[in-house]
Amino acid sequence: MTSGCQKLPQPASVATVNGDHGKRPTIYDVAREAGVATSTVSRALAKPDRVNARTREHVLEVAKRLGYRTNPLARALPSGRTQTVALFVSDVTNPHFFGIIRGAEQQTRAAGCTLILGDTEESPDLESGNVERLSGSVDGFVIAASRMSDREIRELAGRHRLTLISRQVEGVPSAIVDHEDGTRQIIEHLASLGHTSVVYLAGPRRSWLAAKRWQVIRTTARQFGMSATRLGPFPPAVRGGAAAADAAFGHGATAAIAHNDLLAIGMLRRFAARGLRVPDDISVVGYDDIFGADFCSPPLTTLAGQFEEAGRLAVDLLLGSRDGHRRSRSASQVVLPSHLVIRDSTGPAPARQ
């Protein structure tokens, strides 16, 4: 199973290009060439101000001449600091994570570190398994839309540096987009259009977001005198849309809130295929404002948020650049604003027949 990574033929022309017998020069080579001790080379490279200016210049010059490149592994061994951060998402092909990935990548790079990306395929076991596997080669973890239980997360956070995206667990730093307030906005929007009955097409059973959203939909709907029903769970992907659409239609609601845009887009397609008009017959709302939400038919009303910023923040929290000073008792739980983007998939409730 792990055999694939064993035999690695050398690059074709290694000897041709690299003069030094194909081996990278080490600080020993530099030290010898420069006539100083290895520790001096190490200092000149890592903490330039703790070395005489002239020797530093000299060492650096020699290092450059020899084409010296510091070996990150060797550097990491004593310190344990790998300058690497791992990001796990539940599905790399879900456009929802694009912004998160991009933001995390940017911030990681800005901090001089490297990002490792993992796909956990909606599986809590793959999440914890990956953490264990990479623990040791990574300085910390960012988990987006974790499917683990609060207990598992807290346990993991106790043993590893860990921050969360789109998930809140007490005592664990996190960055989320305000979907509670956002969900309220959705209900208000639907209420203002005269809808009195709404269904929520739920996401995965283990999704914390799905639970939270349903909770807010339920209580807010009640405030507005609307009936609310939860259907599902459905896979949070376009392919889940057919079943979701049929369920929503079967229920007879005039408005449907899908767990995410992928599901909503899938529903749109199914409605079209069945000859139902959106929003005339039924209104549809999604979450995330993903790529495509603006050009599907009809363009989707959806809750947008700063997910790229969430990615950046999560990395910041992990590396301590932002919350470093005020490390209060409770871990920082950042909530980013969200706003409802109203497009054409929502409209006035159809007149009661």
Partner DNA sequence: TTGAAAGCGCTAACAG
Partner DNA sequence: CTGTTAGCGCTTTCAA
Binding residues for DNA restricted to 61-80, rule: CB under 7 A: 68, 70-71, 74-75, 77-79
321 binds DNA (CB under 7 A): no
DSSP three-state, residue 338: strand
Per the document, the length of the chain is 353
User: Is omega for the bond preceding 298 within 30 degrees of 0, making it cis?
Assistant: yes
Buried-exposed string 177-193: b where 16+ CB fall within 10 A, e elsewhere: bbbbbbbbbbbebbbeb
Toward DNA, which CB reaches closer, 32 or 206?
32
Q: Which does 295 bind (CB under 5 to 8 A by kind): a second copy, DNA, none?
A: a second copy
Closest contact distance (angstroms) between CB of 163 and DNA is 24
Closest contact distance (angstroms) between CB of 210 and a second copy is 22
Closest contact distance (angstroms) between CB of 211 and a second copy is 25
Per CB under 7 A, contacts with DNA among 7-66 are 23-24, 26-28, 35-40, 42-43, 45-46, 50-52, 54-56
Toward a second copy, which CB reaches closer, 55 or 114?
114
The residue among 135, 138, 144 whose CA lies nearest residue 97 is 144
Query: Is the Cβ–Cβ distance between 117 and 89 less than 8 Å?
Result: yes
Q: What are phi and psi of 58, to 5 degrees?
A: -60, -50
Classify the phi-psi angles of 200: left when phi > 0, otherwise alpha if psi is within -120 to 50, otherwise beta: beta
Site string for DNA, 77-96 (x = CB under 7 A): xxx-----------------
Toward a second copy, which CB reaches closer, 107 or 346?
107
Query: Is the Cβ–Cβ distance between 83 and 76 less than 8 Å?
Result: yes
The two three-digit tokens of residue 318, written as one number: 């992990």
Instruction: Point out which residues bind DNA (CB under 7 A).
Output: 23-24, 26-28, 35-40, 42-43, 45-46, 50-52, 54-56, 68, 70-71, 74-75, 77-79
